[in-house]
C-alpha cells in the first residue's frame, strides 16, 4: 500500500509552537537574573511577537493565497506583517538596550529564513512528488529533515532572545528522551512482548550499567559528587517514569491499530455481502422458476438437466442462507463445492482441449469452517484456466485430516482477452478471502500461491 503525504503545514505549526513555548518559558524562568524589568519584558515579548508574525504568514496569508491565487494581496499582506512584526520587535529590543544595528542584522536574518524554507519546499515537491516518485516515503523523510535543519538554523540565528536553557532542552533533553523511548520500544518492550525475557534483561541492565559508568567517570574527573547523584536520579527517572509511560503509550497504540484492523476486515466483509445482496434478483421468483424447470425436465426425461437444476437450487440456498453465517459445517462447504464442480463438468463435458482431474476425500470431514473459503480458488481456476483454442488443465485435490482441511488447485494460464475488464471481480473475491482468513484463522492457516507463464498453483490449509 502506498504511503500518504503528511500534513506538513500542521506539523510545521506544532513544531514552531513548541519551540517558541520553550523559549518563552525559559526566558521567564531566567528573568530573575535580569537587572531591569524592561530587559525582562523584552526577552519575553519579542519571541511572542515573532511567533504571531509567523502564525499570520503560515496559517492565514499563505493559505489565503493558495485559495485565491491573488499575488498582489500576498505581497501586500506579507510586507505589512513583516513591517508590524519588525516594529514591535524593535520596541522590545529597545527595552533590552540592544544596539540597533545588531537588531536589524538579527531580524532580517530570521526574516529571510522563512522564504528560504518555502523555496526549498517548492524544489523538494518538484523533485520528489508524483509522478517522479510514486511513493511519499522519501518525500516525507526529506521534508521532516528539512524542518529539523531549518529549526536548528533558526535557533542558532536567534541567540538574540534564546538563552542557554532552551538549547539544553531542545538539543540535549529532547533527543535523549527520544533515544530512550526508541531504545525501550525496539530492545525492551518488543523483547518482553515476544517472551524474550533474557534479552530484555540484558538490554535493560546493560543500559543502566553504561549510564552508571559514564556518570561515575564524569563525577571522578570533575570531583563532583552531585554529578553521580544526577546519574542515579536519571536511572530512577528512566525506570519509574519514562519506560512505564512509554510502555503504556505503546500498548494503547497497538490496541488502537488492532481495532482498526478488525474494523477494516469487518467493513470489507460487509461490503462484499452488500455487493452480493445488491446483485440478487428476487430469490422467491428464482426458486419458483427453478422448481418449474425441474418439474418440466423430469416430465421430459431430461435427467441431466433436472439434476443440474437441482444442484443450482442447492447452491442458491447455500448462498442465500449459510453464506451469511460466521461458521458452517465443513460438509456443507464441500457439498457446495461438489455441486459447483458437477455443474462445470456438465458445461465443459464436450471440451476436447480441457483435462479436469478431481480428487476429493470420501471420508466424512468433521468440524466447522467460515463459508466460501474454498470455492473462490476453484472458481478462479475455471475462469482463468480454460481456453477453447489451447490445451487446458485443472487439477483439484481436497483432503480432510484430523482438525484441518487442505485444498490444492493447479490450472493452466492463458493470455487475457482484450475485452476482459481489468477490474476483475475474482481478484476482489480472492482478496476478500485473504482478509477473512487473516481475521477468522490468524496463525491457523497457510496460503501459498505460485504462478509462472503456463501454470497457476494454490495451496490452502486451514486448522479448524
The contacts of residue 20 (CB under 8 Å, 6+ apart) are 47, 48, 50, 51
Cα–Cα distance measured from residue 116 to residue 122, given in angstroms and rounded to the nearest whole number? 10
Cα–Cα distance measured from residue 323 to residue 345, given in angstroms and rounded to the nearest whole number? 23
Cα–Cα distance measured from residue 197 to residue 183, given in angstroms and rounded to the nearest whole number? 16
**How many CB atoms are closer than 10 A to CB 18?**
13
Mean pLDDT per 10-residue section of the chain, whose length is 464 residues: 76 93 88 65 88 93 91 93 92 83 88 93 90 84 93 89 88 91 92 89 93 89 85 90 92 84 72 55 51 61 67 69 76 84 79 85 79 86 82 90 88 69 54 82 88 88 87
What pLDDT does residue 390 have?
A: 82
Cα–Cα distance measured from residue 464 to residue 133, given in angstroms and rounded to the nearest whole number? 44
What pLDDT does residue 376 have?
A: 86
Angle at 133 between CA 129 and CA 134, to 5 degrees: 100
DSSP lists the bridge partners of residue 459 as 408, 448
What pLDDT does residue 270 have?
A: 66
What pLDDT does residue 272 have?
A: 62
Cα–Cα distance measured from residue 450 to residue 413, given in angstroms and rounded to the nearest whole number? 12
Query: DSSP class of residue 136?
Result: S
Query: Which residue, 36, 42, 62, is CA-closest to 103?
Result: 42
Cα–Cα distance measured from residue 14 to residue 3, given in angstroms and rounded to the nearest whole number? 22
What pLDDT does residue 86 have?
A: 92
DSSP lists the bridge partners of residue 328 as 369
Measured N-to-C along each axis, helices 37-56 and 8-29 cross at an angle, to the nearest 10 degrees, of: 180
Cα–Cα distance measured from residue 460 to residue 407, given in angstroms and rounded to the nearest whole number? 5
Task: Look up the pTM and report it.
Answer: 0.56
User: How many residues are there in the chain?
Assistant: 464
Q: Look at residue 295 and give its three-state secondary structure.
A: helix
What pLDDT does residue 244 have?
A: 92
- From residue 297, alpha-carbon distances to 334, 342, 344, 445 in Å are 26, 17, 19, 43
User: Dmax of the chain from CA atoms?
Assistant: 113
Report the relative pairing of strands 445-451 and 328-329 from DSSP bridges: unpaired
Find out whether 344 and 382 touch, Cβ atoms under 8 Å: yes
Measured in whole angstroms, how far is the alpha carbon of residue 39 from the centre of its chain?
49
Match 529532547 to its residue by C-alpha cell: 174
Find out whether 400 and 453 touch, Cβ atoms under 8 Å: no
Can you list the pairs that 269-272 forms with residues at least 24 positions away whose Cβ atoms lie under 8 Å?
269/432, 269/435, 269/436, 269/439, 272/428, 272/429, 272/432
Q: Which backbone phi and psi does 257 adopt, to 5 degrees? A: -65, -40
**How many CB atoms are closer than 10 A to CB 325?**
11
- From residue 444, alpha-carbon distances to 48, 196, 377, 441, 460 in Å are 59, 23, 18, 5, 11
Alpha helices in 194-302 (DSSP H): 197-222, 225-237, 243-278, 283-299
Cα–Cα distance measured from residue 112 to residue 93, given in angstroms and rounded to the nearest whole number? 19
Cα–Cα distance measured from residue 39 to residue 381, given in angstroms and rounded to the nearest whole number? 81
C-alpha cell at 150: 531549518
* Domain 350-463: top CATH class: alpha beta
Find out whether 81 and 61 touch, Cβ atoms under 8 Å: yes
Domain ranges of the chain: 1-162, 172-276, 350-463
Find out whether 398 and 359 touch, Cβ atoms under 8 Å: yes
Alpha helices in 321-358 (DSSP H): 330-348
Q: Which backbone phi and psi does 459 adopt, to 5 degrees? A: -125, 125
Cα–Cα distance measured from residue 204 to residue 180, given in angstroms and rounded to the nearest whole number? 11
C-alpha cell at 206: 546493560
What pLDDT does residue 423 have?
A: 46
Cα–Cα distance measured from residue 43 to residue 74, given in angstroms and rounded to the nearest whole number? 30
What pLDDT does residue 383 have?
A: 83
Amino acid at each position: 500500500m502506498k504511503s500518504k503525504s503528511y500534513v506538513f503545514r500542521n506539523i510545521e505549526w506544532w513544531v514552531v509552537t513548541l519551540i517558541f513555548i520553550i523559549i518563552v518559558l525559559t526566558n521567564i524562568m531566567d528573568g530573575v537574573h535580569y537587572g531591569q524589568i524592561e530587559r525582562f519584558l523584552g526577552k519575553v515579548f519579542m519571541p511572542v511577537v515573532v511567533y504571531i508574525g509567523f502564525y499570520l504568514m503560515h496559517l492565514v496569508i499563505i493559505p489565503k493565497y493558495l485559495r485565491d491565487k491573488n499575488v498582489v494581496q500576498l505581497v501586500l499582506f506579507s510586507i505589512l506583517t513583516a513591517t508590524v512584526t519588525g516594529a514591535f520587535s524593535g520596541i522590545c529590543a529597545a527595552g533590552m538596550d540592544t544596539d540597533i544595528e545588531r537588531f536589524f542584522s538579527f531580524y532580517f536574518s530570521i526574516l529571510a529564513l522563512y522564504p528560504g524554507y518555502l523555496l526549498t519546499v517548492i524544489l523538494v515537491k518538484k523533485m520528489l512528488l508524483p509522478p517522479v516518485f510514486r511513493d511519499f516515503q522519501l518525500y516525507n523523510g526529506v521534508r521532516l529533515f528539512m524542518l529539523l535543519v531549518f529549526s536548528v538554523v533558526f535557533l542558532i540565528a536567534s541567540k538574540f532572545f534564546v538563552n542557554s536553557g532552551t538549547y539544553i532542552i531542545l538539543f540535549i533533553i529532547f533527543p535523549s528522551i527520544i533515544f530512550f523511548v526508541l531504545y525501550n520500544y525496539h530492545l525492551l518492550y518488543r523483547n518482553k512482548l515476544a517472551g524474550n525475557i533474557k534479552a530484555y534483561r540484558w538490554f535493560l541492565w546493560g543500559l543502566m550499567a553504561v549510564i552508571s559508568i559514564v556518570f561515575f567517570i564524569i563525577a571522578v574527573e570533575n570531583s563532583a559528587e552531585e554529578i553521580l547523584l544526577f546519574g542515579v536520579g536519571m536511572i530512577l527517572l528512566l525506570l519509574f517514569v519514562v519506560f512505564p509511560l512509554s510502555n503504556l503509550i505503546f500498548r494503547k497504540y497497538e490496541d488502537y491499530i488492532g481495532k482498526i484492523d478488525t474494523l477494516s476486515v469487518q467493513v470489507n466483509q460487509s461490503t462484499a455481502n452488500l455487493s452480493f445482496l445488491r446483485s440478487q434478483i428476487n430469490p422467491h421468483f428464482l426458486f419458483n422458476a427453478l422448481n418449474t424447470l425441474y418439474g418440466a425436465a423430469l416430465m421430459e426425461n431430461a435427467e441431466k438437466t433436472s439434476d443440474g437444476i437441482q444442484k443450482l437450487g442447492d447452491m442458491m440456498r447455500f448462498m442465500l442462507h449459510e453464506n451469511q453465517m460466521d461458521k458452517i459445517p465443513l460438509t456443507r462447504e464441500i457439498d457446495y463445492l461438489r455441486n459447483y464442480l458437477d455443474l462445470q463438468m456438465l458445461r465443459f463435458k464436450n471440451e476436447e482441449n480441457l483435462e479436469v482431474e478431481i480428487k476429493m476425500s470420501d471420508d466424512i470431514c468433521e468440524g466447522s469452517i467460515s463459508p466460501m473459503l474454498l470455492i473462490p480458488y476453484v472458481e478462479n481456476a475455471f475462469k482463468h484456466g480454460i481456453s477453447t483454442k489451447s490445451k487446458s488443465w485443472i487439477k483439484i485435490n481436497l483432503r480432510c485430516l484430523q482438525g484441518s482441511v487442505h485444498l490444492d488447485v493447479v490450472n493452466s494460464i492463458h493470455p487475457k482477452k482484450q475485452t476482459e475488464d481489468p477490474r476483475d471481480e475474482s481478484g476482489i473475491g480472492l482478496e476478500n478471502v485473504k482478509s477473512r482468513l487473516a481475521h477468522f484463522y490468524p496463525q491457523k492457516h497457510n496460503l501459498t500461491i505460485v504462478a509462472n507463464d503456463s501454470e497457476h498453483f494454490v495451496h490452502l490449509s486451514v486448522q479448524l
